[in-house]
Amino acid sequence: MTAKTYWLEHAWLDTHVEPGVAMDVKDGRITTVRTSTPTPPPGAEILRGLTLPGLANTHSHAFHRALRGTVQVGSGTFWTWREVMYATADRLTPDTYRDLARAVYAEMALAGVTAVGEFHYLHHAPGGTPYADPNAMGEALIEAAADAGVRVTLLDTAYLSSGFGQRPDHHQLRFSDGSAQAWAERCSVLKDQDHARIGAAIHSVRAVPAGQLATVARWAEERRAPLHVHLSEQTAENDACRAAHGCTPTELLAEHGVLGPRTTGVHNTHLTDEDIALIGGSGTGTCMCPTTERDLADGIGPAVALQKAGSPLSLGSDSHAVIDLLEEARAMELNERLRTRTRGHWTAAALLRAASADGHAALGWDGAGTLEPGALADFTTVALDSVRTAGPPPRLGAETTVFAASAADVSHTVVGGRHVVRDGVHALVPDVPKALADAVAALHG
Ligand SMILES: [Zn+2]
């Protein structure tokens, strides 16, 4: 790949907004960052607005995008929502999933996302029969990310039971490999690519029998791969775990060697003080998904306490009720304000760190999420002259971006030095709304 120079009108350099920065990029990485460059060098590509490190969407289920809007009619709980979600899952094939995921990942690129963690459990054909290529669904997702120009960490998910001691129900047969050993054998065939990392996931303590948790943890350990797990999103999971094992889901994971610095608990909503100490003390990360957690009426997780205990925070759009990492970042802070009736739990800098550097780390992308020499050339530019962002001085660009901008203000997204979104237009998927509409219509018939 040829070398290229970008001139950033304003750059977010982890602690402050720097005006006038020239950034050289070669072979997909940033090679130099020159501050005090008030005018663009000849031939440089000009990025007006505030350029941030690329955003990491740490928790995604791409197919949930097909539920947007349709699940907002009527009432119910997480569990009634899940029935609708399963009905959608039943209709997906590798071809329709590739089309849908390509459109969803293109929507993410338009929102400034450069890496996505796909928590993937829809492995087999309806009824549980493996496809001719047992990884056809996972490969479709990896291909979709390439087509949309973003990085993906495929968190291949073990999902073996419908509850403690219960066989998978008819929907869940598509998710199950039968045993953690069979899961490990299937995903061992998947290989990292330039734009793709293979990681592991335990769907939840409900979905993997306690005696098989260590098999998944060991698989991730041997590969030094990220390991994610839905954790205590619902109090019903805690109650069922206590009834089956006499302990909390966090304690069960700790006992079976699942916690640790390469592990991320997703949601971590309903925890005891002991759970928080176990998660933080082991360096296990926490992925908050505030727009989904509020959409599904989950509750507000103890993110402040978790971070204080030692758990790095990341953010995900999960069910894709909306895809907007800036909204996830501000929602984490604003939820806490509502809960405590005090302000300022995180700075804009800390929220951007969760949305980028710490999210990338949780997905196994080292050296990403910062604008410095040697880092991956993954970045995104937010307009500071839109109807939402005009007014505040550029030195407050991080505060303006986190607390007032939306995905609609993203004008550029560059991944590995490739300009994927330019002036708000996706370079690889020409009409993203149509791609989304077609892919969703194909599922709903
Ligand atoms: Zn999830």
Task: State in Å: Cα 389 to ligand 1 middle.
Answer: 31
Residues 155 and 260 in one domain: yes
Task: State in Å: Cα 283 to ligand 1 middle.
Answer: 21
Task: State in Å: Cα 318 to ligand 1 middle.
Answer: 5
Question: What pLDDT does residue 423 have?
Answer: 98
* CATH number, domain with residue 91: 3.20.20.140
Residue 201 lies in a domain: yes
- Of 362, 380, 411, which residue constitutes the final position of a domain? 362
Task: State in Å: Cα 48 to ligand 1 middle.
Answer: 35
- Find tokens 């955003």 and name the residue: 55
Find the catalytic residue in 99, 177, 295, 318.
318
Residues 147 and 15 in one domain: no
DSSP state string for 115-128: EEEEEE---S-GGG
Question: What pLDDT does residue 86 have?
Answer: 87
Task: State in Å: Cα 50 to ligand 1 middle.
Answer: 31
Residues 106 and 234 in one domain: yes
318 among known catalytic residues: yes
Structure tokens of 280?
Answer: 């933080």
* CATH number, domain with residue 18: 2.30.40.10
Residue 437 lies in a domain: no
Return the axis-axis angle of helices 432-444 and 94-110, rounded to nearest 10°. Answer: 150
Residues 8 and 153 in one domain: no
What distances in angstroms separate CA 325 from CA 100, 124, 331, 343, 402, one per listed residue? 20, 30, 10, 20, 9
Burial of 391 (0-12, 13-18, 19+ CB in 10 A): exposed
Question: What pLDDT does residue 83 have?
Answer: 84
Instruction: Please say whether the dihedral angle defined by the alpha carbons of residues 232, 153, 60 and 361, taken in this order, is positive or negative.
Output: positive
Task: State in Å: Cα 323 to ligand 1 middle.
Answer: 14
Residues 214 and 112 in one domain: yes
Question: What pLDDT does residue 1 have?
Answer: 57
Residue 257 lies in a domain: yes
Question: What pLDDT does residue 173 have?
Answer: 94
Task: State in Å: Cα 62 to ligand 1 middle.
Answer: 10
SS3 365: coil
Q: Shortest CA distance to 292 belongs to which of 70, 78, 444? A: 78
How far apart CA 313 and CA 264 sit, in angstroms, is: 9
What are the residue ranges of helices labelled H in 120-194?
A: 136-148, 180-187
Find the catalytic residue in 120, 203, 267, 426.
267
Residue 236 lies in a domain: yes
Residues 331 and 382 in one domain: no
Residues 36 and 120 in one domain: no
Q: How many domains does the chain have?
A: 2
Residue 444 lies in a domain: no
Residue 431 lies in a domain: no
What does pLDDT average to in each consecutive run of 10 residues of the chain (445 residues)? 91 98 98 98 97 98 93 84 85 96 98 98 95 98 98 98 92 95 98 97 98 98 98 96 98 98 98 98 98 94 98 98 98 97 98 98 96 98 98 98 98 98 97 97 85
- Of 316, 341, 362, which residue constitutes the final position of a domain? 362
Residues 278 and 387 in one domain: no
Residue 340 lies in a domain: yes
In degrees and rounded to multiples of 5, residue 274 shows phi and psi of -65, -40
Residues 40 and 72 in one domain: no
Residues 93 and 124 in one domain: yes
Show the domain range for 172: 55-362
Task: State in Å: Cα 194 to ligand 1 middle.
Answer: 25
Contact between 312 and 362 under an 8 Å Cβ cutoff? The reply is yes
Residues 246 and 99 in one domain: yes
Burial of 16 (0-12, 13-18, 19+ CB in 10 A): exposed
Q: Shortest CA distance to 117 belongs to which of 342, 362, 294? A: 362
Residues 271 and 391 in one domain: no
In degrees and rounded to multiples of 5, residue 364 shows phi and psi of 80, 15
Neighbours of 41 (CB within 10 A): 12
How far apart CA 231 and CA 324 sit, in angstroms, is: 23
- Of 362, 382, 409, which residue constitutes the final position of a domain? 362
267 among known catalytic residues: yes
Residue 402 lies in a domain: yes
Burial of 302 (0-12, 13-18, 19+ CB in 10 A): buried
Contact between 311 and 284 under an 8 Å Cβ cutoff? The reply is yes
- The alpha carbon of 44 is separated from its chain's Cα centroid by a whole number of angstroms, namely 32
